[in-house]
Each structure stands twice: as structure tokens, then as C-alpha cells.
Structure 1
Amino acid sequence: MTSIPSIGPHRPAQFLTIQYIRGAAALAVVVFHVLAFKLAPPGWTWLHVGQRGVDVFFVISGFIMFTAAREERFGEFWRRRLLRLVPLYWLGTAAMFALMIWEKGTHPSGSDTLASLLFIPRYSDASPGHINPILYVGWTLQYEMFFYLLFSIGLIARRPVMAPVALLAGCVLLGRVWSPHNALVVTCTSPLLIEFGAGLLLGKVAASRSLAGGRWLLWPGILLLGVPALPGWGIGVAATLVVAGAVGFDQRGSMRALAWPKLLGDGSYALYLVHPLVISLIGVSLARAGVVINGAGLVWAAVVVAATALIAGLSANYWVERPLLRLGNRWWPARRIRFDLIAPARHPADPRGGRVPAESALARGPIAGYGARHDDPAHPDRRRVRLWRRRGDTG
């Protein structure tokens, strides 16, 4: 579930609609890749708009970074992001590496492998002219990592919205002026980056005012995403409308908790990474068996492949992704943070000068801040109270 600890006075208890939309976006991408695998029945090609689920992902990512991570410290921010993204992605890359050896008898080059594992955009040796890592859906994670870099700069500057938004806009403007050809620069100046900024700004707006009145924006946003000839900037606008409408529904509290959509949203990352493996494995197996699918069989084949990918993705979420996250949090735990709280020695609620509980110090005593020191043991009116806590371990 999407956990939003600090979005302001209009924070809903849960962002159910955001979670449902995230799951639907992942499923749309699965459908797109199934059809791209030459399983598109006649008249179904319009479903290629499913690739626009990636744009919805990017807007949601910006929104979540504002609402859930804007108060995190630099180190804790990267700990959470790396534990959330890297282990499953590396496993998926290793599986695709093995699958390519089985299919072609050769393996990707060392340069391709290293660039894939480190999220470095690079023109693939196996697919000249395409910026694809070994696990090809990982190109979106390259955008995510670049956005995280800019967002973490905003955390350092204590401007978690305006700093990354300005940097994103500057990078895109530079790309429009420069027209680069280097794979790294192409990625870091892509207009797609604006969608992260839109999510950040949406989160900032939602923190100060309710968007419940704009929940209807969800429906025109979905309709626009289904328009085949929509230009690139229009896709970004449509994705932002979808997310804004979802936030409005959640702030109004009118969305019911539904088990299967929530399960799909929880498993969206695993589904996104695992479905290319399932599609490729089925394709290689059919090719080796000499099976050719035509006509009406394409419909059933597309349904079976998509359903298999869905089951595999949700299973990977439960049996692989979650255990990996728990293991990672044990191996790389959150850093303990010490608060030095200065509480009055004699509190009206404790006239005899007895021990003041830590929660009383937190609620009533002035906070000296991180690393504050009041070391004079003879001070008549104050004593030192230490409170230890861990930041949450969920990604």
C-alpha cells in the first residue's frame, strides 16, 4: 500500500485510487508488450496505447516522492530507493541474461551488462540505435534513477520541490536546444522528465488544498490516454489528469477498498519487471517447438500469455520481492537517530520532580535539535532526556 506519512491537512488515510491506477498502468504495459510480441489480433492494434502506462508511472513517482520522501535525509532516501528497486531488478537482469544465452547461444557484452546493472543509459550492442538495458523495461528505471538524483539534490538544498523541478525543466530545455545524440545525455534531457516534475507539483498542491472537487479529471484523463494519435505533450497532460483525479478520489474518501486491485497495485513493480521474462520465455519455447499461431488463435494466445505474466508477476511480488526487501532492511538497517530533548526538571504534572517520561519531554519540553548538548550536570532547572528511534523500513 502507498504509505503517505506527511501530505498535510488533506491527507487521506490511504491512497487506494493511486494504488489501483498504478496496478492498472502496469497491466496496460503488459498488454502492450504481449501485442508487440506479434500476438496482436486484427483490429486490436489500438491497445498499443498501453505503453502510456509508463507516463502514469512517472507522474505517480513524482507525487510519491513529495508526499513520502520530502523530509527524508539524503542517506536514508537512497537506502530506501536502492533496497526497493535494485535487488529485484538485478535478479530480473540475470534471468534475462540467461534466457538470451539459451535463445541465441551468446551473451550480452560486458559493457552492456555493466551499464544495465548500474542504470547507465547506453546504446545496446544487441539492438543498435536503441537505448535498452538487458532487461529492456529497465530503461524506465534509468529515468527514475536520474530523477532520484535530482530530487536528492533538492533534499540537500532543502528545496525538495522547486530545486528538482527547476533542474528537470533546465535539462529538458537543454535537450531541446542541443539535440544530443549521446545515450546518457538523451535520457537526461528527455521531455519525459517533465512528468516527474508534474507529479511533484501535484503533491505540493494536494498538501495545501483538497483536490476532491477535481476527482472527475480521472475520466477525461483515461479517455485521452486512449487516443492513438495523441502527441507526446498530450500524453503527459493526460497522465497528470489521471493522477490528479485519483488523488481527488482519495482525498474525498469515496473509493472502496477492493482486494484484487490493491493486490495488483502492490505487485505492480514485480509485474513490470517479470512480464518481459515470461513473454520471452514463452516466445523462445514456441519457436523451438515450431509452433505458429494464426487467426483466431492469436486472441487466445494473447490472453494466455498476459494471464501467465500476471500470475508470475504477483507471485514474484509475494515470494521474491517482499522477502528481498525484508532481507535488505536487515542487512542495511536504517541508521539510528538520536534526539536530545530538554525537559524541565520540575513539571507542573510532576511537582515532586520525579522522572519525566520521554513522551512528556517530546510533547512539552523544548527540543534542542540533533546533536544539541547541555552537559552542565549542576544546571538546576533542566536535565537531559535521550530518545532513540528508527525511521521506517518500508520503501
Structure 2
Amino acid sequence: MKKLCSIQVLRAVAALAVVYCHAFATGRGSAGVDLFFVISGFIIARVSKDRPAAAFAKARFWRIYPIYLWAAAAPLLWEIAFGSGLTPRVGATLTLWPIWGGHYQQPLLPVAWSLYFEVLFYVAMTVWLFSRRAALVAAAAVLVAALDRPGPATAFLLSPIILEFAAGFALARLRSFRLPGLALVIGLVLLFGSTRSFDNATMLDPAVASLRALDFGLPAVMIVYGALGLEWLFAARWANPLVGIGDASYSIYLMHLFPINALTGSSAEMPIVRFLAAVAIGLAVHRLLERPLGDWVARRRRSRQPETVGLEAPGLAPQG
């Protein structure tokens, strides 16, 4: 599948925005996650086309979990060995299903809250590819459960934040773009001009999640729309460094809190130092671990199914 430079650049922008948010301890930039969600919906619409459900699910698993579990290994092992043992948070972190013991569990790797929703979207797509009738029945069952016995599980499954993925999915159907430059500029100003931030647990509150989808999701949709309409611009040589960062965005996202936390309170605690260290560590992990792992999985799949396209990426990872 052809790599879209516009999408890779936006993935870089989203990752750098989240790193900026944490390195500089500001709310500005946290909306990069919402940009990731819209991008993910767009990518999944492309890679799921004409693909069997089992093949789609397997590709998602290999792209999400190995590098994620490597990143989460340290906090997981610490919690099990020196913390509270096999707690519900351990279960949530391992499975990326957030509801344990009837309550929402914060992941031990804090940034993994967004992967809760990524995996939910992938599961929904897998069921849809397997059987649209089964997907509709499952959706109806969740709605009935939410009306009969609402709780954290139904709140998670029906969180309005999923609309950001759906909007990205819809963008993949567009074939023409009007005023993409204007949409891109307005979207960027609205998305990153705001200093508002949301606690991830509040995404189970329909009112708060709806507000986030409007405040962050709508501008993110405008940004992706505008960038897609300007693919020729992002395909120019000037964008190559950002495309490279976009390739590494999943590793940057997963790893960035480790160097930021390690440098906080040290002699090198200046925000710009934390920011650069976080990006550098993410790029190194991508080059030394994520990319070789992806190449190995792609070679393994090609040896078994020569006609299969190479492994595509999740919304938080490279496209090809």
C-alpha cells in the first residue's frame, strides 16, 4: 500500500504535540491523541478493505502488542514484584481492556489509555469484517445493556470518543477535497491553540467525552481532511524529516514518559532537554526494535502468503 506522506507528517505532529505537552507540563498538545484517533480511523478504513477478519485481527495484534508489551514491561514487573502483585491494573495493562472488578483501571503505562480505545476500534472492525449481522447484534446488545444496567463497561464501549475513529474512517471514502489549505490552517489553530486538557478516565463520562470530541476531534478531522487534499505538498523533500518521525511515532508515544520522568528534578530538567531526549529515545527504539520486529513479521507473513500485502500499522505507528 502506498505510503501517504501527509498522514506520516500528521502522525509526527501528533506525537511531537503529546511529547511537548508532557515535557513542558502544559495542556497544549494533549489533543495530539485525538489527531492520532482520526488518523487511525482513516488508516483502518484503507487496510481493512477486502481483508478477512482473521488476517486483519492478526495484523493488528502483531503491530500493537509486541512493542507495547516491551514498553510496559518495566512498570508491569515492578507492580508484580514490588507493588501490589497481580492487581486489576496489571490485568488492564496486559489486556488493554480497562474494566476490571467493575471499575475503570488506569494502565500502569499511563499513555496506554489511548490504546484501550484503539484496541476497542480494532475489535469492532474485526467483528464487522467477520459478519455485519453479528456486529449489529453486538451493538444492539451493548445498547440494551447500557439502558438496563449502565456501568463502566457500557460507558467505555459507548464512549463518544469513538466518533473520532468513525470520522477518520469516513474521510477514507472521500475522493475530492475543497479548500484543503483553509481547513488545515483552521484545524491546526483550533486544535493546538487550546490549553484545555481532559483526564483519560473522564472518557467514560458521555458529556465530557462528547465535549472532547467536539473541541479536539472536530479540528483533528479538519486537519486530516486538509492534509489529504494537499498530499502533493507533503510529498516534497522538505517533509522527509517529519515523515521519518511519523514512522517512529508509535515508539515515541510509548516511550516518551520514561526520559521525561527520569530528567525531571535533575540538572537537565529544562523542558526542551526533556522534549529532545524523549524524541531521541523514541527514534532509537523504533530503529533498534520496532522496525526490525515489523520487518521480521512482514517476512514471515510473505513466506506463508506471498500474495499478501505487507504489514500495515495502527494509528499510532508507521503506515508501512
TM-score interval, normalised by the smaller of the two chains:
0.7 to 0.9
Higher relative contact order, chain-length normalized (CA < 8 Å, sep 6+) = 2
Q: Which residue of 1 aligns with 2:29?
A: 50
Structure 2 distance, partners of 1:172, 1:85, is 25
Structure 2 distance, partners of 1:168, 1:221, is 34
* Selected match of 2:90 from 113, 116, 121: 113
Structure 2 distance, partners of 1:278, 1:61, is 26
| Contact 1:96-1:277 within 8 A present in 2 as well | no
Please, what TM-score do these two structures have when normalized by structure 2? 0.80
Q: CA deviation at 1:194?
A: 0.5
Q: CA deviation at 1:248?
A: 0.8
Q: Which residue of 1 aligns with 2:274?
A: 305
Structure 2 distance, partners of 1:139, 1:320, is 22
Q: Does 1:223 align with 2:223?
A: no
Unmatched tracts of structure 1, length 5 or more: 5-13, 37-46, 337-388
Structure 1 distance, partners of 2:196, 2:12, is 24
Q: CA deviation at 1:33?
A: 2.0
Q: Which residue of 2 aligns with 1:238?
A: 219
Any residues of structure 2 matched to 1:56-205 within 5 Å, and which? 56-98=35-77, 105-106=82-83, 109-122=86-99, 131-157=105-131, 180-182=150-152, 184-205=153-174
Q: Which residue of 2 aligns with 1:316?
A: 285
Q: CA deviation at 1:271?
A: 0.3
**Number of aligned pairs?**
295
* Selected match of 2:296 from 327, 340, 343: 327
Any residues of structure 2 matched to 1:8-47 within 5 Å, and which? 14-36=3-25, 47=26
Taking a change above 3 Å as real, the CA distance of residues 305 and 175 of structure 1, as seen in their structure-2 partners, is farther
Deviations 1:326-358 (A, max 9, x none): 33345566753xxxxxxxxxxxxxxxxxxxxxx
Taking a change above 3 Å as real, the CA distance of residues 303 and 179 of structure 1, as seen in their structure-2 partners, is farther
| Contact 1:168-1:194 within 8 A present in 2 as well | no
Q: CA deviation at 1:72?
A: 1.1
Q: Which residue of 2 aligns with 1:272?
A: 253
Q: CA deviation at 1:215?
A: 3.6
| Contact 1:169-1:194 within 8 A present in 2 as well | no
Q: What letter matches 1:324 in structure 2?
A: L
Deviations 1:137-189 (A, max 9, x none): 11111111111111122222479xxx97x89997997899679442x333211
Structure 1 distance, partners of 2:28, 2:149, is 26
| Contact 1:29-1:272 within 8 A present in 2 as well | yes
Q: CA deviation at 1:212?
A: 5.4
Secondary structure class of the residue paired with 1:204? coil
Please, what TM-score do these two structures have when normalized by structure 1? 0.66
Q: Which residue of 1 aligns with 2:205?
A: none
Q: CA deviation at 1:221?
A: 0.6
Q: What letter matches 2:180 in structure 1?
A: G
Q: Percent identity?
A: 30
Higher helix proportion, which one? Answer: 2
Unmatched tracts of structure 2, length 5 or more: 198-210, 313-320
| Contact 2:117-2:162 within 8 A present in 1 as well | yes
Q: CA deviation at 1:228?
A: 3.5
Deviations 1:241-274 (A, max 9, x none): 1111111111xx2332322101110000010001
